[in-house]
């Protein structure tokens, strides 16, 4: 069991924990929605995804964004997951990211959907 993210206290007054699948999901979400420079001791951590949603919506940008997501996840989580595919869509005020990956330790394939603010 791992600590949940964001940090929370469970009903017993202890640190809330989460299973491995939830922990990996939390790690991916942190990489996707953290902007480089946001963390003091890790200034390059994150993907920069939220900054790209302000650019004009073009096919080239969509391709670049998908590559950015895949490379950021590989850089920061490459020892625990192997990214197979990433799809990024913006729809009004919502940014949706679909990530297909394999867990390195078990080779289990998972697909997760993440939503965040597009602005």
Q: Are 27 and 11 in contact (CB under 8 A)?
A: no
Task: Judge if the upstream peptide bond of residue 6 is cis by omega within 30 degrees of 0.
Answer: yes
Lowest mean pLDDT among 24-28, 30-34, 58-62, 67-71: 58-62
- In tens, the pLDDT along 70-108 reads 999 999 999 999 999 998 887 766 778 899 999 999 999
CB 49 within 8 A of CB 97: yes
pLDDT over 90 at 2, yes or no:
no
- CB distance 18 to 36 below 8 Å: no
Tokens 């939220």 -> residue: 50
| Alpha-carbon span 10 to 23, nearest angstrom | 16
* All structural domains of the chain: 2-117 (3.10.450.40)
- The pTM for the full model equals 0.81
């Amino acid at each position: 069991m791992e600590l949940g993210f964001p940090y929370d206290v469970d009903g017993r007054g202890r640190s809330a924990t989460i299973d491995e699948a939830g922990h990996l999901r939390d790690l991916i979400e942190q990489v996707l929605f953290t902007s480089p420079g946001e963390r003091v001791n890790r200034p390059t951590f994150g993907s920069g995804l939220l900054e790209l949603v302000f650019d004009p919506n073009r096919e080239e940008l969509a391709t670049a964004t998908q590559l950015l997501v895949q490379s950021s996840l590989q850089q920061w989580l490459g020892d625990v997951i192997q990214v197979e595919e990433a799809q990024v869509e913006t729809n009004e005020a919502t940014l949706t990211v679909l990530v297909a990956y394999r867990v390195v330790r078990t080779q289990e394939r998972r697909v997760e959907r993440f939503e965040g603010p597009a602005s």
